[in-house]
């Protein structure tokens, strides 16, 4: 049975004032199927082209936290203990940091895992 889903693309914005970014993750939330997950792919070469002095390990740590929050992993801190809906809203809330979400987009699916693969290919080249 088809269910609605929401997704956001997580972007790395090395220099906010230049408004340049690379897509680094997709977060998909399908409440009817109790699905909340992130697909992460950081293209280090593209990131370093935008910001030669970037600390890739720090960026990777932030992106890994997104996956842990989606999974409800306690090591991600108190945000991970919230409901799936609250975690998705926290992850997709606008912010002015190096890690920023795109606007939220919606759709209908039968299998959120398949949609995640399609979105990862579309936005992350995966």
Cβ atoms of residues 42 and 60 within 8 Å? yes
Task: Return the pLDDT at 31.
Answer: 97
Percent of the chain with pLDDT over 70: 100
- Between 96 and 76, the more confident residue is 76
d(CA 34, CA 16): 34
Structure confidence by residue, pLDDT tens digits, 22-79 = 999 999 999 999 999 999 999 999 999 999 999 999 999 999 999 999 999 999 999 9
User: In this predicted model, what pLDDT tens digit does every residue of 47-60 receive, in sequence order?
Assistant: 999 999 999 999 99
Range of the domain at 51: 3-124
Spatial CB neighbours of 16, under 8 Å, sequence gap ≥ 6: 96, 98
pLDDT, residue 18, reads 84
Q: What is the pTM of this model?
A: 0.94
Side-chain half-sphere CA neighbours of 47 within 13 A: 21
How many structural domains are present in the chain? 1
């Amino acid at each position: 049975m088809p269910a609605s889903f929401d997704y956001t693309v997580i972007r790395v914005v090395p220099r906010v004032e230049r408004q340049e970014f690379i897509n680094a993750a997709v977060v998909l939330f399908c409440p009817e199927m109790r699905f909340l997950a992130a697909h992460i792919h950081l293209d280090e070469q593209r990131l370093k082209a935008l910001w030669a002095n970037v600390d890739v390990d720090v960026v990777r740590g932030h992106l890994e936290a997104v996956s842990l929050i989606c999974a409800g992993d306690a090591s991600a801190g108190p945000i991970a203990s919230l409901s799936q809906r609250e975690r998705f809203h926290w992850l997709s809330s606008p912010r002015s940091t190096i890690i920023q979400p795109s606007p939220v987009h919606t759709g209908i699916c039968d299998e959120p895992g398949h949609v995640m693969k399609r979105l990862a290919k579309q936005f992350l080249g995966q």
